[in-house]
Amino acid sequence: MKKKNIGATDKIVRLILAFILLLIVWFNYAPSRTMEIVLLVIAAVFALTSYFEYCPLYSLFGFSTLKNKEID
């Protein structure tokens, strides 16, 4: 299993952004069908990274939003 690198605040922000992107698609505010698909993919990435508490880009750049007390 990958080491966690997403903290609680980061996780909540990602989930909120995923929800907002889903609402944009649901209420047809996206300018095109292609943009809807792009927004859905981004929302899925945000939701999955929140669920697994791991972001590959953070890992690539050696970044982490975990606080010391959140580390397993």
For residue 40, give its domain range: 8-56
Looking at the structure of the chain, the number of domains it has is: 1
Output the pTM of the full model: 0.86
pLDDT of res. 69: 62
Mean pLDDT calculated for residue range 2-12? 92
Percentages helix, strand, coil for the chain, rounded to the nearest 5?
A: 65, 0, 35
- The answer as to whether 21 is a domain residue is yes
The answer, yes or no, to whether residue 49 has pLDDT greater than 90, is: yes
The answer, yes or no, to whether residue 55 has pLDDT greater than 90, is: yes
Query: What's the chain's average pLDDT?
Result: 92
Instruction: Name which residue leads in pLDDT, 19 or 71.
Output: 19
**Token digits of residue 50:** 């929140």
- The answer as to whether 31 is a domain residue is yes
DSSP 8-state symbol, 2: P
- The answer as to whether 67 is a domain residue is no
Mean pLDDT calculated for residue range 39-50? 97
- The answer as to whether 35 is a domain residue is yes
The residue behind tokens 């859905």 is: 40
